[in-house]
């Protein structure tokens, strides 16, 4: 399902200024997923050479989350955008892209969901089953 990321800092791609980018994880292929992992691994290798710790666990790997979010944008816009364009994104927009990838890995949709019946507040407050203390 196509969704959008609003950019705080517009990015110029192929001579056009983009203030928002569409992404779609339904368009992600095995090759796209592997590409995201490869870029994340390359970042981890550079970080390990500089003495910074890396997170090999997929759920904790922010580089993988970032590149997965970027790859989802590329997947939704294959004719217009490539990963090199996405790597020019900066600032808070990187956090947004990373959150999109993290939510995908965590199995969470970016759309707000309505509460299930078990999450709704109950109008009836049950009486306590704990006996009152005598004074």
Mean pLDDT of 2-29: 95
Q: 12 lies in a domain?
A: yes
Rounded distance, CA 35 to CA 110, Å?
Answer: 22
Residues 38-73 have pLDDT tens digits of: 888 876 666 555 555 555 555 567 889 999 999 999
The predicted model gives 105-119 an average pLDDT of: 57
Q: For residue 57, is it within any domain?
A: yes
Domain-located, residue 93: yes
Does residue 25 lie within any of the structural domains? Answer: no
Confidence of residue 107 (pLDDT cuts 50, 70, 90): confident
Instruction: Report, as an integer, the average pLDDT of 24-29.
Output: 95
Average pLDDT, the chain: 80
> Which two three-digit tokens encode residue 108?
């969470």
For 104, the domain range is 1-20+47-111
pTM of the predicted protein model: 0.71
In a domain, residue 83? The reply is yes
Asked if the structure places residue 16 within a domain, the reply is yes
Percent of the chain whose predicted confidence (pLDDT) is above 90 = 55
Looking from the CA of 23 toward its CB, the CA atoms found within 13 Å total 29
Distance CA 131, CA 6 (A): 55
Q: Quote the number of domains for the chain.
A: 1
Does residue 53 belong to any structural domain of this protein? yes
């Amino acid at each position: 399902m196509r969704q959008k990321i609003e950019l705080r800092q517009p990015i110029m791609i192929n001579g056009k200024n983009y203030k928002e980018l569409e992404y779609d994880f339904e368009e992600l292929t095995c090759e796209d997923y592997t590409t995201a992992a490869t870029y994340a691994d390359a970042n981890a290798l550079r970080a390990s050479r500089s003495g910074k710790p890396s997170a090999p666990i997929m759920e904790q790997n922010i580089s993988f989350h970032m590149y997965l979010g970027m790859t989802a944008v590329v997947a939704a816009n294959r004719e217009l955008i490539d990963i090199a364009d996405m790597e020019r994104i900066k600032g808070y927009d990187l956090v947004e892209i990373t959150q999109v990838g993290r939510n995908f890995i965590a199995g969470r949709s970016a759309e707000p969901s309505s509460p299930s019946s078990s999450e709704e507040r109950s109008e009836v407050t049950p009486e306590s089953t704990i006996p009152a203390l005598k004074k």
